[in-house]
Amino acid sequence: EVVLTQSPDILSLSAGERATLSCRASQSVNGDYLAWYQQTPGQAPRVLIYGASLRAAGIPDRFSGRGSGTDFTLTISRLEPEDFAVYYCHQYGSAPLTFGGGTKVEIK
Amino acid sequence: EVQLVESGGGLVQPGRSLRLSCTGSGFTFGDYSMTWFRQAPGKGLEWVAVIRHKGHGGTIDYAAAMKGRITISRDDAKSIAYLEMDSLKTEDTAVYYCGGGRGSYRTPWGQGTLVTVYS
């Protein structure tokens, strides 16, 4: 099983700042099939990034993903008020599919 | 527009069964693998089951936590994926979501359907 470890658990930042979220896999993610999801309270998770670096439809270009193998990063270049949320990484390259524990981006 | 809509959730007693549906639109459903996920109240995201499209042999995988109690299936003619859940436990209480995938591409998820198992 590919275990995903996200860091930090909580990221306290102000609007306009840059956010860098990390996701580390216990073994190489097959095909770099790694996605990032954003979830705000009471809402369904929204896919931001798939295939490690491809932005999903309608996602602003301030969101970017990079990485391969075991180390992946989600960057939000300039935080907007609506970006304060919980972010999950997810590998779907091999079963069992797994998620990281999440990073909460909160207002400082 | 790619869209998925989950349905079939509700209140159920332990030991009972429930069948969830995931209806897709805006894409060629039969070309996509379909996956069920869940999220217990206040917890993180958890994968439940996947059924791959015919091009990938229609193979199925289940998460260990529910294996033996769930069956995933699909009806490509109707663009629906199903999740049959038996012998439900209180710890199965969660919002259940479905998502699709083709290669590296992931579709948006639906809004989810709430399953509450109460004693």
User: B64 to chain A: nearest residue by CA?
Assistant: A96
**Given pLDDT bands bounded at 50, 70 and 90, which one contains residue B109?**
very high
Q: How far is the first Cα of chain B from the last one, in angstroms, to the nearest whole number? A: 40
B20–chain A nearest CA distance, Å: 17
A97 with B47: Cβ contact below 8 A: yes
Cβ(A84)–Cβ(A78) below 8 Å: no
Dist CA A65 CA B25 (whole Å): 28
What is the average per-residue pLDDT within A49-72? 98
B116–chain A nearest CA distance, Å: 16
Cβ(B92)–Cβ(B85) below 8 Å: yes
Chain B residue numbers touching A39 (CB-CB < 8 A): 45
Cβ(B99)–Cβ(A92) below 8 Å: no
| pLDDT of B119 higher than 90 | no
pLDDT tens profile B76-100: 999 999 999 999 999 999 999 999 9
Query: Is B45 in the A-facing interface, judged by CB distances under 8 Å?
Result: yes
A25–chain B nearest CA distance, Å: 16
What is the average per-residue pLDDT within A60-87? 98
Dist CA A94 CA B85 (whole Å): 23
pLDDT tens profile B1-49: 999 999 999 999 999 999 999 999 999 999 999 999 999 999 999 999 9
pLDDT of residue A100: 98
Cβ(B82)–Cβ(B19) below 8 Å: yes
B109 with A50: Cβ contact below 8 A: no
pLDDT of residue B85: 98
A54 with B44: Cβ contact below 8 A: no
